[in-house]
Chains A and B, each alone.
Chain A
């Protein structure tokens, strides 16, 4: 059987070699690999960064991007207190049909979905020359590269290289496929004032915002990894026990 395993390994190696040789050249630069609090099996969300990120989202992104899968109550997941959540929700106004059948408004509650800036995708697209700002709920999971990609886009605005023809109404971004992006540079130094005194550089805000967006896309992640360790340890231990048991049982065979 050992020879079979070696042969299989050789076959896999051969296959891997073929893949390396055939890898196509990529025109966008390699994504910078950031350090994220949540990455790795021991990762845990940096709550302070996620809360700062929510502030950036609420003050900047929410002007154009919806987040339809999130409710204000979910914000307890990044450590906001009940009062803070109520206050955030109450600062939004929702159009409703009143008891008299007439359109009216009411303040938001923790049970409300994040207030969307546009009533629908078409309205959003109409304001942005036909291309609507994507919903941000699971945006991190929806892009190759995940948080590294989002961070790279947020910090990737530069002047186009000489000779690059930039279309009307588009912006140059190093990491965007094709380099021409509809979104103008969203973050500028000191655009928000952090309550905890952290200096709001583009880099810092991008990092915080990405942390927040990672959480909105994967709110279960911290609990998932905690349970995961218990599961892996449990089954690993059971594997050890059953192996010992099996050895003992089979040793009686003649």
Chain B
């Protein structure tokens, strides 16, 4: 057996393959027996949901590409043809179109989970950073996808966003021309965006693979933010979390189906039902809802270059928060001083989202600036400072200890018999 993997698979055919290419052992170790903290709450469903969304988007996207024509004079009508003349084309398209929104909802909750429970801290820095890369690539993919139907908002959104690069000193305008493949958003832009929109999801798949590899080295964080101390703190991923994820997935798909089938255009913009017209600018150019907070940050700075820098900075700052956060405690549950400020951060992002949807005038300008200021203040000042001045609450001894502690019992070591009680019916 020299040179072969020692496979424990029972089926001889599977064992034959597994000893030469141990993918079955890998699946067994990484998804079957993988020891996972036993105390996940439902926030831990969203990683799996994001994975499912990625697959749904790729499958529906490939089907759409079979019927879509990436040419400026045909794109709009070809999308409508998918809606009308392709069998169940409307379903495929509405699943894909609303899938973008659902994907962002899932990913934003996933990111909130990471922020709240300190999942970005040692030893999971690279896991977090690959996640930020995923967010960036996903945003680029979503932006280019929105251009493809070639409606008014597609066209003018593409014009506004690509024009941001013109703020770069000296070479800005050349870069924009290079991006466009011409002197305005036109057919070459549409064709390359289509090509890239098809390519980037597979880059996402690759980075997701890295994300999962990193996850399986460090193991998952958990709501207590303390590492498992032994087998009593963990349970195998399968079947306990596969079934829990399945339940979460069914709830998620119920909501997703409700949007796709009952209000498929609720999150869209009416202007995108008007074919792109380079000679007529819509009254309001607004991006899709998931970009609104970043759009608000962009517009809250009176200087174009400054706005662009802050907008990209608002994502890039996420790369370094493993080092900006100085607190040794992961979970915000045990950080009384810091905890309320995470919710202020959420509120500021929601306010920024609303600011992004309105004309930058009156109260919206002020709100936009306050929101932007708080966003950066949170990461650049509150995170480093609070880790030093805050006195965190005492951490539990282990994951299984608080779970097993009978209600009413105080701290301190429990008598040996008590720990043997089952945790169910709690």
Contacts and interface: CB of A to CB of B under 8 A. Distances in A.
Contact of A138 (B116, B223, B273): B273
Interface string A219-250: 11000110111011001101100110110011
Contact of A225 (B41, B254, B262, B363): B262
Interface in B182-234: 223
B247 interface: yes
Contacts, number: 125
A142 B271 contact: yes
B243 A249 contact: yes
Contacts of A252: 424
Interface in A1-60: 1, 4, 7-8, 10-12, 14-15, 18-19, 21-22, 24, 41
A4 B347 contact: no
Nearest to A239: B250
Interface in B238-267: 239-240, 243-244, 246-247, 250-251, 253-254, 257-258, 260-262, 264-265
A7 B340 CA distance: 8
B257 A69 contact: no
B343 interface: yes
Contacts of A196: none
A22 B80 contact: no
B52 interface: no
Contact of B343 (A8, A74, A146): A8
B344 interface: yes
B271 A253 contact: no
A4, A68, A139: which has the most chain B beta carbons within 10 Å? A4
A254 interface: yes
B296 to A, nearest CB: 13
A180 interface: no
Interface string B68-85: 000000000100110110
A204 interface: no
Nearest to B273: A142
B80 A138 contact: yes
B270 interface: yes
B247 A11 contact: no
Main secondary structure of the interface of B (DSSP, over half): helix
Nearest to A139: B273
Interface in B40-88: 41, 77, 80-81, 83-84
Contacts of A246: 243-244, 246-247
A18 B84 CA distance: 41
A181 B324 CA distance: 57
Interface string A115-151: 0000000000000000000100111011110100000
B423 interface: yes
A254 B94 CA distance: 44
Given A15-B351, A18-B354, A253-B38, A24 B261 contact: no
B261 A242 contact: no
Contact of B262 (A14, A21, A41, A249): A41
A143 B268 CA distance: 12
Contacts of B120: none
A102 interface: no
B84 A74 contact: yes
A251 interface: yes
Contact of A11 (B347, B359, B423): B347
B367 interface: yes
Contact of A235 (B235, B250, B354, B420): B250
B362 interface: yes
Contacts of B244: 246, 250
A231 B422 CA distance: 38
Contact of B424 (A14, A227, A228, A253): A253
B343 A11 contact: yes
Contacts of B243: 242, 245-246, 249
Contacts of B422: 253-254
Given A11-B347, A69-B81, A142-B270, 15 more contacts: A4-B343, A8-B343, A10-B343, A11-B350, A15-B350, A18-B351, A22-B364, A69-B80, A224-B94, A225-B262, A232-B257, A235-B254, A239-B251, A246-B243, A251-B424
24 contacts: A11-B350, A15-B354, A18-B354, A22-B362, A22-B363, A69-B81, A74-B84, A141-B273, A219-B84, A224-B90, A224-B91, A228-B258, A229-B261, A231-B257, A231-B260, A232-B261, A235-B250, A238-B253, A242-B243, A246-B243, A250-B240, A253-B423, A253-B424, A254-B422
In the A-B complex, list the 8 residue pairs whose CB atoms are closest, starting with the nearest: A228-B261, A142-B273, A239-B250, A11-B347, A231-B257, A242-B247, A235-B254, A15-B350
